[in-house]
A = this chain, B = another copy of it.
Amino acid sequence: MTTNNIRQIYVDHSAGKPVDSRVVAVMLPYFKVLYGNPSSFHRFGQEAKQALDNSREDISKLINAEKPETIIFTSGATESNNLAIKGMAIRNRQKGTKIVTSAIEHMSVVNSCKSLVRQGFQTTFSPVDSYGLLDLVKLEENIDEQTKLVSVVYANGEIGTIQPINEISEIVHKKGAYLHVDATAACGQIPVDVNKDGIDLMTISCNDMYGPKGVGALYLKDSLRIDPLLHGGGQERGLRSGTENVSSIIGFGKAAEITRLEMRSESKRLVKIRDSLIQGLIDPISYTFLNGHPKKRLPDNVSVRFNFIEGESILLSLALSGVFASSGSACAAKTLQPSHVLLAMGLKHEEAHGSLMITLGRQNTQKDADYIKELIPGIIDRLRNMSPLTPKELKK
C-alpha cells in the first residue's frame, strides 16, 4: 500500500494476508541460491527435495497427520478442493455417484461438485440452521448408499461458524462414506487434528497461515487413493504433476511451524478483540445482528448485518476513513449476488445485502477495534438517514 497520512486499518484477512517476515526470510535463498529441481539427482536437486520433505513434516505436525507423505502440495485451496472432490468422486464412481456437501461451502467446493454433473454425478446441498451449523439429522438422511463422498467446511470464513467435525465424521463413516473437510479458514486459527477429528481428506491453505499465496496442500489419509487432476511428470506421488513450487513450499512449512507454536496465544488475543468489536457494534446500534454462531466461531471473524442499508455503502464509507473490510467472500465478490452462505442461514436478500465482514489479523490491535467501534455508528446513522428502507422513527 502506498503510504499516505491517513490511518490505514486492514481488516480483510479472510481475503488475503501479508506474508510473515520470518516466512519471507526462509523463502529467499530458494529464489537465488537453492534453485534446483527436486527431481534432479545432483546436490541442487537433492537439497530442494530435502527442503520439500521438511515442509511436509512441518505441515503434517500441525494437523497431527500420521505421516508427512499424507501431505500433497497444490497451487492453493481452490485446487485442493477440486482435487479432493473430483479425484475422490471419479476414483470411486463405480461405488456411487452421489456427493453430499453443505449449503455454505466455498465456491470451489460448490462448483467442483456442479462440474461433475456432466459425468453423471449428483450433489445434495445439506441445510444449516440460522447459526450456520449443519443440521446433523438432515445430513444423515442425505447420505445414502450411493454416497461415497461428503464434503464439509471446517469453519466458514465468511460467518466464522465452526462445525462439529468429529460428530459429522462419525455420521459419515457410519454410512460408509469418506469425509473431505475444507479447512482453509480453520487451519491456523483453531486446533485441527485429522486423527481426532476423523478426517479422510483435508484442504489446507498457506496464505491463511501468513504464508505466500499460490500454494496449498491436500491431506490424504494414508490408505486412500484418488485420481489426479493434473497429469505429467508424476510429482507428489503421481497425484499432482508439475515442478514443485519450492520456495513457496518452504515458506508454507515455516508458516505451519510458526502457527503451531503461536496459534493458541494469538487466537486468544484475537478472540478478545473480536468480542469487544462484536459487542461494540451490536449493543449501541439498533437493528444490528451477528451472523454466525456467537461462541463456535473463528477467532478472526466479525460478521454483522445492519438492517435497511447496503454492505457496499458501509464499505465505501469505511474505506474513506482508512478501514478496509469486506461484505463477504472475496471469491464471490464479482457476482454482486447476495452471499449464498447468508441465504442458506435463512436471511432474506435485503438482510444479506446489509452485511459487513471484518476479519482480524496479526497486525490488528485493540486500538484498531476501538477506532472501528467509534467510527461505525456514525456511518450507519448517516446511511440509514439516506435509505428509503429505513423506518421513519429511526431517522434522525
Instruction: List residues of A whose CB falls within 8 A of some B CB.
Output: 1-2, 10, 12, 15-19, 21, 24, 28, 31-37, 39-45, 47-48, 75-79, 81-82, 106-108, 111-112, 114-115, 207, 212-215, 229-235, 241-248, 312, 315, 319, 324-326, 329-335
Contact A43 to B324, CB < 8 A, known contacts A233-B78, A233-B332: yes
Q: Which of A28, A35, A319 counts the most chain B CB atoms within 10 A?
A: A35
Q: Give 7 CB contacts A-B under 8 Å.
A: A2-B47, A24-B32, A40-B324, A78-B242, A111-B241, A233-B329, A235-B331
Would A232 and B112 count as touching, CB distance under 8 A?
yes
Would A333 and B40 count as touching, CB distance under 8 A?
yes
Contact A315 to B229, CB < 8 A, known contacts A16-B37, A330-B243: no
Would B232 and A106 count as touching, CB distance under 8 A?
yes
Would B24 and A79 count as touching, CB distance under 8 A?
no
Q: Which residues of chain B have C-beta atoms less than 8 A from A115's C-beta? A: 231
Q: Which residues of chain B have C-beta atoms less than 8 A from A246's C-beta? A: 213
Bound form: Cα–Cα A75–B235 in Å: 14
- For residue A316, which residue of chain B has the nearest CB? B41
Given contacts A39-B333, A107-B241, 15 further A-B contacts (CB under 8 A): A1-B34, A2-B47, A12-B45, A15-B37, A15-B39, A15-B40, A16-B36, A16-B45, A42-B325, A45-B330, A75-B79, A76-B245, A214-B245, A214-B248, A229-B229
Q: Which residues of chain B have C-beta atoms less than 8 A from A77's C-beta? A: 242-243
Bound form: Cα–Cα A115–B234 in Å: 13
Min CB–CB distance A92 → chain B (angstroms): 15
Bound form: Cα–Cα A9–B242 in Å: 25
Q: Which residues of chain B have C-beta atoms less than 8 A from A42's C-beta? A: 12, 315, 319, 324-326
Bound form: Cα–Cα A380–B185 in Å: 56
Min CB–CB distance A331 → chain B (angstroms): 3
Q: Which residues of chain B have C-beta atoms less than 8 A from A28's C-beta? A: 24
